[in-house]
Amino acid sequence: MSGVAAAYQATKGSVLDVDKAFYDSLTEANTERERIESLTVSLRDGLAWKVPAGHVFRVKITDGPQVGDFNMWSLHNPRERMWASRTRQLQRAHVSTYDRLWSTLPYLRPMATIIDDTLADYDVDDEGGRVHDLLGTRCDPYVNRLLTGEDFDFHCHSNLVRAVEPYGLTEFDVHDVLNVFQCTGLNEDDQYFMKACPTRQGDYLEFFAEIDLLCAMSCCPGGDLSVDLWGENTQDPLQTCNPLGVEIYRVKPELLRDWKSPEYAPYKGRHGRRNPDVDWASIKNGNAAK
């Protein structure tokens, strides 16, 4: 409904008040950067990679339109991971330039900030579709079994599970995603819909790593989502699938002179308890007894 104010306001000087000039200074258009790694997420597969704090990483369309399901954790403490629903509240349901991806409680800090987006001008289409979706989550083999009675092992959930296992994570660590390049919305019955991905070769979404990150991406088995995955018109969308590219960049150190990684949310964590021996720092760092 137009004219209704956002629940969470970016008041001047707050953590939601983004320094746009700083993030603009890190983009390819405004500075020379060193590309230190180039990776490929193969079609219908997943990949995980590390990004040091203060670096930039880009997810890009290398061949044809393709949707990617993105997860992210603190490299040193995977209990801290991207929180899609809180990001949706603090930022937007479909994110773009200057939006931040936030971590789960009790940490609650920006993990990465979007600094460049070739689809930033897509806005909202005639059917209410927008790109880079936080409304939905990953496709998974459990739903597929319920809807079709068949097993399929290469849904985004499974791709992410395989991708993070070499880093010591499991299926229980895979979480709700940012659907990169995915065009979605809510229909007149308030139901989630997906549309064909509007990307072209060379399009990208670019992030600044606010902390040391472990990232993972699934190359969605639905490809560009122009073919229904479920329903009466279901067919194998393999012909619509393409790989995705990932690039990691080092920026000039002088650009980061006044930047530092964000601290954890400063709430003391008592929750009304009277026990003075609660070691809040240990709890946040994942060292407390389970």
- State the residue range of the domain holding 56: 35-252+280-284
Contact call for residues 182 and 198 (beta carbons, < 8 A): no
Q: How many domains does the structure of the chain reveal?
A: 1
Mean pLDDT for 165-170 is: 98
Q: What is the predicted pLDDT for the residue at 277?
A: 65
Q: How confident is the model at residue 130 (pLDDT cuts 50, 70, 90)?
A: very high
**Helix (H, G, I), strand (E, B), or coil: what is residue 238?**
helix
Residues 13-34: tens digit of each pLDDT: 788 889 999 999 999 999 999 9
Q: Is residue 227 part of a domain?
A: yes
**Residue 52 domain-assigned (yes or no):** yes
pLDDT averaged over every residue in the chain: 92
Treating both helix axes as pointing N-terminal to C-terminal, what angle do 141-148 and 156-164 enclose, rounded to 10 degrees? 150
Per-residue pLDDT reduced to its tens digit, 100-111: 999 999 999 999
The pLDDT, as a whole number, for residue 86 is 97
Here the tokens at position 268 are 């003391």
Cα separations in angstroms, 200 against 41, 203, 239, 290: 17, 6, 16, 47
Burial of 202 (0-12, 13-18, 19+ CB in 10 A): exposed
pLDDT digits (tens, 9 = 90+) for 238-279: 999 999 999 999 999 999 999 999 999 999 888 888 766 666
| Residue 71, helix vs strand vs coil | strand
| Residues 120-148 as b or e (16 or more Cβ within 10 Å = b) | eebeeeeeebbbbbbbbbbbbbeebeeee
The whole-number pLDDT of residue 272 equals 86
pLDDT at 215: 98
Q: Is residue 257 part of a domain?
A: no
Residue with the bigger pLDDT between 220 and 275: it is 220
Given 3-state DSSP classes, what are the helix, strand and coil percentages for the chain, each rounded to the nearest 5?
A: 15, 30, 55
> Torsion angle, CA of 51/55/61/65, rounded to 10 degrees?
70
Residue 287 pLDDT grade (very low, low, confident, very high; cuts 50, 70, 90): low
- Single-letter residue type at 61: I
The rounded distance, in Å, linking the Cα atoms of 56 and 52 is 9
What is the percent of the chain with per-residue pLDDT over 70, rounded to a whole number? 92
pLDDT of residue 2: 61
pLDDT in tens, 170-182: 999 999 999 999 9
| DSSP-derived secondary structure for 173-184 | G----EEEEEEE
Q: Mean pLDDT over residues 177-197, rounded? A: 96
Residues in Cβ contact with 114 at an 8 Å cutoff, skipping those fewer than 6 apart: 95, 96, 97, 98, 99, 100, 101, 205, 206, 207, 208
C-alpha distances (whole Å) from 54 to each of 59, 133, 217 are 17, 25, 20
Contact in structure between 67 and 222 (CB atoms under 8 Å): yes
Look at residue 123 and tell me whether its pLDDT is greater than 70: yes
Look at residue 267 and tell me if it is in a domain.
Answer: no
Token match 């073919």: residue? 227
Residue 29 lies in a domain: no
Cβ atoms of residues 109 and 264 within 8 Å: yes
**19 in a domain, yes or no?**
no
Q: What is the pLDDT of residues 135-163, one digit of tens each?
A: 999 999 999 999 889 999 999 999 999 99
11 within some domain: no
pLDDT of residue 21: 97
Q: The pTM is what? A: 0.92
Question: Which residues fall within 8 angstroms of residue 93, CB to CB, at 6 or more apart?
Answer: 130, 133, 134, 135
**Tens of pLDDT, residues 68-113:** 999 999 999 999 999 999 999 999 999 999 999 999 999 999 999 9
Residue 99 lies in a domain: yes
Distance between CA 266 and CA 170 in Å, rounded? 30
